[in-house]
């Protein structure tokens, strides 16, 4: 009876697995703050993506960790840069079985760790950054990425990238806009995962956690600029924002269950303080219930196995 009247289900195809690939790695290594998540080599990356595909996961979101960083994040758009090389390899390996997507942001590639290039005062220069995002977008589309995940929170980024993609003939490359992305402490473990060089914080371009209307405003702007999908991030602490955006959106709305959300449940479970599987399933069903059409989660493959 409960199954028959259940209002919300999570299906494996609505899950997206974030994956980290590290340039020059000869073997996969564990990420201390995210037990169970790895820095992949190109080979182990392909295996992880194949496992995800076999479990029925809908897509993967790829992050690159480069060997060399500089002020403009030049490796982000270099055709031989790790993210672009890995994208090509994944598309060849699993491109028919799931959707290969790429993070489009400079923070992993800059030596100062910000999501954009800096002006002479050391502040992020919005419009100069857009030019770098356009370079990145074209190199990722060229490498075969099906969906570009614009996570940098620069104003006008969707418009700039869409125009450049169309001009170069990448009319089928979709844009996932991280629209309501909050300046969150829950990204902490991720920053270890990408060896972030960040000093300070991202509050000049990410949203203030107290601002609910602003999440809606950012989403509306991205829709009008041509986003194909909008995202709310983090998920668990922003379910109200997610519900707001889902209620008014006529395009898919996704949510990112971020590294801190993952680490909290894993840490509590490791201490025997929480029922791990029930907590994970409850967190995912809650994000779906609030209105997410799909969820980025580090548990995607494992959860898909349970849900099958």
Alpha carbons 42 and 65: distance in angstroms, whole number: 12
Q: How far is the CB of 5 from ligand PBG (least distance, A)?
A: 34
Between the CA of residue 286 and those of 82, 198, 273, what are the distances in Å?
A: 35, 32, 20
Which residue is listed with tokens 């059409």?
293
46 is catalytic: no
**CB-based closest residue to ligand PBG:** 190
Q: Where along the sequence are the contacts to ligand PBG (CB under 6 A)?
A: 103, 105, 107, 151, 187, 190-191, 202, 258-259
Bridge partners, 265 (sequence order): none
Residue number, 115 or 141, with CB nearest to ligand PBG? 115
Q: How far is the CB of 105 from ligand PBG (least distance, A)?
A: 3
Q: How far is the CB of 128 from ligand PBG (least distance, A)?
A: 18
Between the CA of residue 257 and those of 28, 109, 158, 183, what are the distances in Å?
A: 23, 23, 22, 14
Residue number, 190 or 248, with CB nearest to ligand PBG? 190
Q: What residues contact 81, with CB distance under 8 A and at least 6 apart?
A: 64, 66, 75, 109, 139
Alpha carbons 304 and 91: distance in angstroms, whole number: 21
308 is catalytic: no
Residue number, 198 or 307, with CB nearest to ligand PBG? 198
Q: How far is the CB of 299 from ligand PBG (least distance, A)?
A: 12
Q: How far is the CB of 271 from ligand PBG (least distance, A)?
A: 21
DSSP strands (E only) in 42-84: 59-65
Catalytic-role residue among 46, 181, 202, 288:
181
Residue number, 259 or 301, with CB nearest to ligand PBG? 259
Alpha carbons 164 and 170: distance in angstroms, whole number: 8
Catalytic-role residue among 57, 233, 239, 292:
233
Between the CA of residue 277 and those of 41, 57, 295, 303, what are the distances in Å?
A: 28, 18, 17, 9
Residue number, 32 or 43, with CB nearest to ligand PBG? 32
Maximal CA-CA distance, the chain: 64
Output the six-digit token pair for 152: 């940098």
Residues with catalytic function: 181, 233
């Amino acid at each position: 009876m409960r199954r028959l009247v259940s209002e919300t289900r999570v299906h494996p195809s609505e899950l997206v697995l974030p994956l980290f690939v590290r340039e020059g790695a000869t073997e996969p290594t564990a990420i201390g703050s995210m037990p169970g998540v790895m820095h992949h080599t190109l080979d182990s990356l392909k295996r992880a993506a194949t496992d995800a595909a076999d479990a029925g996961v809908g897509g993967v979101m790829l992050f690159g960790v480069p060997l060399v960083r500089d002020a403009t994040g030049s490796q982000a758009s270099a055709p031989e840069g790790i993210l672009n090389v890995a994208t090509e390899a994944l598309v060849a390996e699993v491109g028919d079985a799931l959707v290969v997507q790429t993070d489009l942001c400079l923070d992993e590639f800059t030596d100062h760790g910000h999501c954009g290039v800096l002006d002479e005062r050391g502040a992020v220069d919005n419009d100069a950054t857009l030019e770098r995002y356009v370079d990145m977008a074209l190199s990722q589309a060229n490498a075969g990425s099906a969906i570009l995940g614009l996570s940098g929170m620069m104003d006008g980024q969707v418009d700039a990238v869409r125009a450049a993609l169309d001009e170069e003939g990448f009319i089928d490359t979709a844009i996932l806009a991280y629209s309501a992305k909050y300046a969150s402490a829950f990204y902490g473990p991720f920053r270890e995962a990408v060896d972030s060089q960040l000093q300070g914080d991202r509050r000049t371009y990410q949203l203030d956690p107290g601002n609910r209307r602003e999440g809606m405003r950012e989403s509306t702007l991205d829709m009008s600029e041509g986003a194909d999908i909008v995202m709310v991030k983090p998920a668990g602490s922003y379910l109200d924002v997610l519900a707001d955006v889902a209620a008014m959106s006529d395009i898919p709305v996704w949510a990112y269950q971020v590294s801190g959300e993952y680490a909290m449940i894993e840490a509590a479970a490791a201490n025997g303080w929480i029922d791990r599987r029930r907590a994970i399933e409850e967190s995912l069903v809650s994000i779906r219930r609030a209105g997410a059409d799909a969820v980025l989660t580090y548990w995607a493959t494992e959860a898909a196995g349970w849900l099958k």
